[in-house]
Amino acid sequence: MATSQAPTRQAITLKGSTNLVTEFFKYAANTILFQRGVYPSDDFHMVKKYGQTVLVTQDLALENYLDRILTQVNKWLLTGSVTQLVLAIISKDTRLPLERWVFDINLVEPPADSAEPPPPKPESEIQAEIRYILKQIVSTVTFLPIIDDPTVFNILAYTHESADVPADEWVDTDPLAIEASKSQQVKLRSFSTDVHRIEAMVAYRYEG
């Protein structure tokens, strides 16, 4: 069993990392929905997470909805078939995409030549990176355009063609892209676990 020790550790890391990433998406989505006013702010309550307070929805319907999505995302993460998650904020009336919060999911490839797997990244460091991203999401409010219209959101998953898709639950859709001439983009921080690397970005409609 000595030889299989390293893969086992890796395997645990993958599973753990997937859960970590999924959990991050949950809090990131909640933070965005709160900060961008997609749902009224009194739907949210404060939760201690990642060493800071995060606002999480207490609307049961929304909670379940996010859970169902993230469960599937979790499966995709395990098989590595999802490359990008997008939270699009759309105007409720015009259906115009106003903001796209893009999270690229990259698999971290260990260097091929080193037989020794690199030392696992300490959890505290990952949490700190996640904290920075969430704080950055909060701080984007300062420059993102004020949204006056009522909005809805939509979560898109970019997957491989070969991905295992529950047919009745997930459907192919429009990417809800913002026209290039009217779009501004800001790259946010990223975080990485031993297996995944998540890079965040926000693109928003700006017709200056």
Partner 1 sequence: MNQPKTPSRFRSRSDAKTPLTPSIVSQFNAVSLGSPQKRADISNPFLVRSRTASPVKRTTSAAVPQQTSSNAGVIRKGGVESRLDVVSHDYHPPRPELKRSRSTPSTRERSLSHSSAHPDRFITAREDAALPSSLSSGATAAAANASTSSPGHTARLANATGVPLNKRVLAYHEPPPASSSSNFLSAQRNIARPLYARDALPSSNGTTSTKSRRVPTTPERVLDAPGMVDDFYLNLISWSTLNVVGVALGESIYLWAADTGIVSHLGDAPDDTYVASLDFSGDGAYLGIGLGTGSIELWDVASSQKLRTMAPSSDATSAGQVASLSWFNHILTSGHSNGSIVHHDVRVPRHVVATLQGHTGEVCGLHWSPGGEVLASGGNDNVVNLWDGRGGDVGSNTRGAPKWTKRNHTAAVKALAFSPWSPLLASGGGTLHTYHTGAQVTGVHWSVDRKELVSTHGFPGNAIIGWAYPPLPSPSGSGSGTGSGTTGSRGTTPTPTPTPKLFEIRDAHDSRVLFSALSPNGEVLVTGAGDENLKFWRIWDSRDVKGKKKTVAKKEEGGARGILGIR
**Least separation in angstroms between CB 37 and partner 1:** 7
- Residue placing its CB nearer to partner 1 in the complex, 96 or 201: 201
Count of other CB atoms within 10 angstroms of residue 151 = 21
Closer Cβ to partner 1, 14 or 54, answer by number: 14
Contacts of 63 (CB under 8 A, 6+ apart): 57
Least Å distance, CB 107 to partner 1, is 6
Using alpha carbons, list the distances in angstroms from residue 155 to 73, 113, 140, 142, 170: 11, 38, 19, 23, 11
Q: How far is the CB of 169 from partner 1 (least distance, A)?
A: 5
d(CA 139, CA 172): 32
CA 203 to chain centre: 14
Residue 49 or residue 100: which is nearer to partner 1 going by CB? 100
**Least distance between partner 1 and beta carbon 51 (Å):** 28
Q: How many angstroms separate the CA atoms of 86 and 126, rounded?
A: 21
Nearer to partner 1 by C-beta: 51 or 179? Answer: 179
CA–CA distance, 54 with 51 (Å, rounded to integer): 9
Residue the block writes with tokens 């997930």 = 170
Residue (7 or 118) nearer to partner 1, CB: 7
Q: Closest approach of Cβ 43 to partner 1, in Å? A: 6
Closer of 53 and 185 to partner 1 (Cβ): 185
- For partner 1, the binding residues (CB under 8 A) are 7, 10-11, 14-15, 37, 39-40, 42-43, 59, 61-62, 65, 68-69, 72, 78-81, 83-84, 86, 100, 102, 104, 106-107, 109-110, 112, 146, 148, 152-165, 168-175, 177-181, 183, 185, 199, 201, 203
If you write DSSP's letter for every residue of 6-37 in order, what string do you get?
HHHHHHHHHHHHHHHHHHHHHHHHHHHHHHTT
CB 84 to partner 1: min, Å: 7
Beta-strand relationship, 44-49 and 183-192: unpaired
